[in-house]
Structure 1
């Protein structure tokens, strides 16, 4: 393959010279640039056109070499035969020097012999007047000069051969190194697990790798040459600032941001942004390498939440003991003071008593966190638990003109866990739903079995709903929007669901309502 490539380059060079010579010949014959009649090279032009077609079709290079030699020699002989100018014989000598490019001894030797025969024949039969004017001494001198030229040509061939081989070997090694580097870079680009995109100076995509298509959802053919939206609308100004910083020669390493997929969903992204320079040090493009770190962020949140729960659990046991003991004493004295109906401080005594009950409620919720995580799970019927809790809250719902809608898509679903803790979860959710409805409204409870052997329980109300910020912080300890809330209810709810290997999600829109979905693994009995 290497020799074929080298021979192709030599053939192309010789074909270039041949074509150039034909064009110059045609121009001279057309505009009569010299004072002699030079016929138009029609035959040579047709032959040259055929050679160009053969080169385009990439025929065998050895065959191409032979055709070029025949064409060059034939064109020179044809030119000589069509004119009476003896100095055109020098083209046959020049052809010998040109063919040295092939670095082939047999070609040079063969063409030397052919050239001698042609010269003798032409001088003997074509240029008879010239032949009659020369002597044997002239012929001998011409022969010596010709052999001298041949020897010089041979030595030149050997020298050029060595020099050319060295240059070709060097060029070949550079070409292999470049192709190898380019191939490895292309393999890296195509197989990288991180998303890679290259942008022009107008922030239009030049190219992307398959990981980009998988991460962002955009196909390569859809985004090439376009400025597709990859950043969430609220982060556009920050993205423009980053772009300006890149174009000024800056870069970003391990930058965390929020990016947007084609379907409009967001994900946590870790990006490395760099400018791309040309050989003159000018910025011609920018590159963005992106990694999805949503799972990492979620894991970090879980770790932080776990640490918070652990800290609160450790505090809870101490609080329950250190606070409840003196609180019991205070509560006893308050009850004694309440027995005095004529006390002028009756209002304040009742207020103290209410606040003591509130402290007891907070301590009770603390005690849930301080309980050991180990439990003795039992199999129970989840729909029966929900039915009992709804029956318990039915009078309150009727009192507030709240309609209860029950969608039981399946029955007798069994769950393994602590039934009392699950009851506490449902009571807390229904209580929040009732409080969210100010006057009258609807609460819907839907139970169904998912394809992945999960029991899905969805509580939906048409109350006031929650803002996005509230939903994001609702599971944090002591976070509440209620005047008398403790901020521990939803955190305990999430803790219980996680201990049962379940999931809880909240979908809420301010002013329209809230939907809370709990998924718990089912068991077969």
Structure 2
């Protein structure tokens, strides 16, 4: 029963009671008026009392019914209101779990149910709000941690340039608390104390609404400070910039390192110019080629030696190699590919006119910074004249080569591949720029193409999630990331990497990539189907539908293109992404240019160093103050000192052993005159004769700064020429002696014959005189025979001979003389061996040496004869205890006609020396006055 029905019944009952009461009263009143008349006559007081009782009962009944109706009505109305009041009090106290739960079917039941439903929804909203507030507090806490822990400064500025907030980095940078800076004008805080200007970059952002980046230089605590400031706008709902967030990044180390690289590059370039001048003025042919033998560089010395101009030789396969030596040359190339250095190769070369010349060749590998052989450096010298002298004198002088030297003072290593890998990985990191895939194209100006250099990105959706999980930057250090790059899914042979390396686009093609290069601006292609200049290669091979390209600009020059897309998550590339990518590309371009510059310098350095180290002559640089600045290995080897003991010292102390400049030194003359000098110098300190070339070095302003020296030891060559001259004079003398001997011999034979006949027929004193004549004639005939033996050409009759048995035969010839002089001969023999010699000629040589030993010992001495093998030679050693040879005479003992004895021709040792030389052997002599002598004869076993 509804509340409305209950109220209606209650009012109806109440009205009925009132009607009954009114009718009863009316009836009783009428009855009373009639009865009163009767009562007046009858006098019935009893009746009146009974009537009054009835009236009282009626009134009592009416009152009881009224009270009952009121009680019933109150229960029906007031109790639901109490429940509602109680519920509102509990809810106001925060108890949203309280419910009325009234099982009534009337309006109060409906109100209670709807009230409970409303409170339930309110409870859900309240719990959601509490959860939202909790998440907001956690997010704020995380943002505060990120704000204060970021590696860089963050400053928030209002439109009036007052500081709204700063992070811990800025507090440490300015040595002020955030409270001291907040609310103050940016110019007041940073201009006075910091030297940086966040409001300057913020001003442009307030005016344009765009992200702005600038680099600034300041001075903090008397220390130069470089910072990169980037301003990002914060806009209201109308799009107006109301605040600006300025990020401050410390780039001091990077800027100082960049300046250092530029300084080092300038120094290397200057050194390179010096060395290029040396190469161009070198008399040697300095040639470089690729691993296929194609000529890549050709100096003036090569043009003079081979006759080919540079343009004629460049790009050809070794045009100076004769056809019959091509196979040998290819073998050399294979050895160079393995990293071998081939030194002092004597071979044949063909000039342009077809003339065959002899050259000394040194081949060295040219390696890149990674140690991989990428080319061949060859230094060749025309030794035709030298070989002619060498054939006459059995030995040759080593070839002279010019020097290239490069010195790189760059510290550390900039690996381009590792740098590119890190750049592209950062672009594709989920916590980095967040693109799905990235490819780096580099401009090849020589070929006029854009060439894919490296690619990073997954090949499928599954691989994409694995990569994003593995290479997340969160809680990872740089070594961890590098290890992931080297060993993780983004290895160098990934699908996208191999694909990118095969992409090559001509700069003359009309594509988005080439347009970005030409116009030096980025492009964001939202849909390739609507693009009039699509990159067909990228669309076909990569399957991309939308992508972005950003040019990499360094020094106002495009060096490459960075290509990105979001193929797998289909996320559109927005304007913020493009701005962020463009800002990032500026750093990438600078880093790549530095790495390429370093690689180029390293490659040039390696090439020049290989050339430099392959030169055998002494080459060194001096300053104008006579200080040795740089040397090659030949200098260190010649002086027998490590480079650190030579460099930095005065040249006249190191090379000439003097305390002041030597007036005869070409360097001294060059310092005085600023002109080049090439002179032959006798240097007792170095011990020899040298051809010294000293050339002045000038800087870019023309100021004299030092000299470069190339020093060739020509001591042996000079000695060979002197010996050749002596031999030519002796040949002429021998020819004269031979003619004189022939003219004298016939009359002398007649005189000797007649003297012997007279000796037989005469007697007395005449017989004695004739005997003296005959003996003297025999002695003269012996001298003539010795002279003729020395000057005549003898053909060797070689056979295999045991040198021990040969020397034993010689000893037997002088046995009687040894016994007569009481000389003891000690014989020692090594292992049996044989040599290919003319036994008669060698026996004559050994007899001369043993005879001299007997004469030197005189009497009561000892002679030691020993035969043995040393290295590849058979050795016959003859040692005596005689008077020895003076230091002055020792160099002259093999000269013809030299003798210290009163008798003899002085040709014995000269003939001995000639015989041993005819057998390609040599003689070594050790002797000291009164200490005896040792003669060692070396004859090759083969």
User: Displacement, 1:464?
Assistant: 2.9
Q: How do 1:433-512 residues align onto structure 2 when only pairs under 5 Å count?
A: 433-437=853-857, 440-452=860-872, 454-512=873-931
User: Displacement, 1:280?
Assistant: 6.0
2:836 aligned counterpart, secondary structure: strand
Counterpart of 1:165?
Answer: 556
User: Displacement, 1:198?
Assistant: 3.3
Q: How do 1:210-229 residues align onto structure 2 when only pairs under 5 Å count?
A: 210-221=633-644, 223-225=646-648
1: distance between equivalents of 2:780 and 2:794? 24
Contact kept, 8 Å, 1:455 with 1:519, in 2: the verdict is yes
1: distance between equivalents of 2:232 and 2:911? 102
Change over 3 Å in CA distance of 1:475–1:441 after alignment to 2: same
Change over 3 Å in CA distance of 1:85–1:277 after alignment to 2: closer
The structure whose Rg is larger is: 2
Change over 3 Å in CA distance of 1:48–1:307 after alignment to 2: farther
Change over 3 Å in CA distance of 1:376–1:395 after alignment to 2: closer
Unpaired runs of 5+ in structure 2?
1-151, 156-161, 189-197, 216-229, 245-519, 522-551, 560-589
Q: Which one of the candidate residues 203, 206, 220 is aligned to 1:93?
A: 203
Mean Cα deviation higher: 246-255 or 221-230: 221-230
Change over 3 Å in CA distance of 1:397–1:371 after alignment to 2: same
Q: 1:402 aligned to 2:823?
A: yes
2: distance between equivalents of 1:469 and 1:300? 22
2: distance between equivalents of 1:426 and 1:519? 12
Contact kept, 8 Å, 2:165 with 2:182, in 1: the verdict is no
2: distance between equivalents of 1:292 and 1:407? 41
Contact kept, 8 Å, 1:201 with 1:247, in 2: the verdict is yes
Counterpart of 2:850?
Answer: 430
Contact kept, 8 Å, 2:164 with 2:182, in 1: the verdict is no
Change over 3 Å in CA distance of 1:357–1:284 after alignment to 2: farther
User: Displacement, 1:434?
Assistant: 2.5
1:483 aligned counterpart, secondary structure: coil
Q: How do 1:112-151 residues align onto structure 2 when only pairs under 5 Å count?
A: 120-121=241-242
Counterpart of 2:806?
Answer: 385
Change over 3 Å in CA distance of 1:413–1:91 after alignment to 2: closer
2: distance between equivalents of 1:251 and 1:121? 73
1:427 aligned counterpart, secondary structure: helix
2: distance between equivalents of 1:508 and 1:327? 39
Structure with more contact order per residue of length (Cα contacts < 8 Å, sep ≥ 6): 1
2: distance between equivalents of 1:490 and 1:214? 36
Q: Which structure: greater helix fraction?
A: 1
Unpaired runs of 5+ in structure 1?
1-17, 23-36, 50-74, 103-109, 124-156
Counterpart of 2:503?
Answer: none
Q: How do 1:55-454 residues align onto structure 2 when only pairs under 5 Å count?
A: 82-83=183-184, 92-93=202-203, 120-121=241-242, 165=556, 185-199=608-622, 205-221=628-644, 223-225=646-648, 241-242=664-665, 244-248=668-672, 249=674, 252-253=677-678, 255=680, 257=682, 269-278=690-699, 284-293=705-714, 296-297=717-718, 300=721, 303-304=724-725, 307=728, 310-311=731-732, 314-315=735-736, 317-332=738-753, 339=762, 341-342=764-765, 356-410=777-831, 412-437=832-857, 440-452=860-872, 454=873
Contact kept, 8 Å, 1:309 with 1:369, in 2: the verdict is no
2: distance between equivalents of 1:427 and 1:236? 53
Change over 3 Å in CA distance of 1:178–1:449 after alignment to 2: closer
1: distance between equivalents of 2:789 and 2:186? 117
2:635 aligned counterpart, secondary structure: helix
Q: Which structure: greater strand fraction?
A: 2
**TM-score, normalised via structure 1 length:** 0.60
